[in-house]
Amino acid sequence: MLIVNDIINKLPYTDPFLFVDEIDMVSDNAIEGRYTFKKDEFFYKGHFKEQPVTPGVILTECCAQIGLVCLGIHLLNSEEVGSRDFQVALSSSDMHFLLPVFPLETVIVKANKLYFRFNKLKCEVKMYNQETQLVCKGVLSGMIRNNNI
């Protein structure tokens, strides 16, 4: 079984497109992680110039990185998996946005596995803000595969 910190190290993303700071819990059926949006994130420049707001596509990406990719790495359960040893692709998303996320806010993503078979992972995801208010929710699907198999 992978150690939680190893999961983040195996992600195929780097700054400025890494939206995972911590994994708080992972099991074969669920994962919980968090990310704090920095004040100088590249996407804030020009996205509502007077009051920057995190774009929905970035919130979806944060949910996918934690809820699909991190959980998928855990489910592959292979310590040989490195950032170049697997492929991942988002195949569908159905997200509903309820509250804005501003710079310097920390969000918590919780995902529950609906199924993982034939390399397809489908999860129900929910994102909460620091006040535990629901920010967005939805269902994400993706393909994740170990290239060594």
| Options 4, 47, 124, 126, the catalytic residue | 47
Please give the span between the terminal C-alpha atoms of the chain, in angstroms, as a whole number. Answer: 17
pLDDT band with cut points at 50, 70 and 90 for residue 79: very low
pLDDT at 2: 56
Phi-psi region of 104 (alpha: psi -120 to 50; beta: other; left: phi over 0): left
pLDDT at 80: 45
pLDDT band with cut points at 50, 70 and 90 for residue 120: very high
> What top-level class would CATH report for the domain 4-146?
alpha beta
Closest CA to 71 of 11, 136, 18: 11
What's the whole-number mean pLDDT along residues 89-118? 94
In angstroms, rounded to a whole number, what is the distance separating the alpha carbons of residues 133 and 52? 20
What's the whole-number mean pLDDT along residues 79-87? 55
Segments making up each domain of the chain, as ranges: 4-146
Catalytic status, residue 47? yes
Tokens of 43: 């996407």
pTM strictly above 0.85: yes
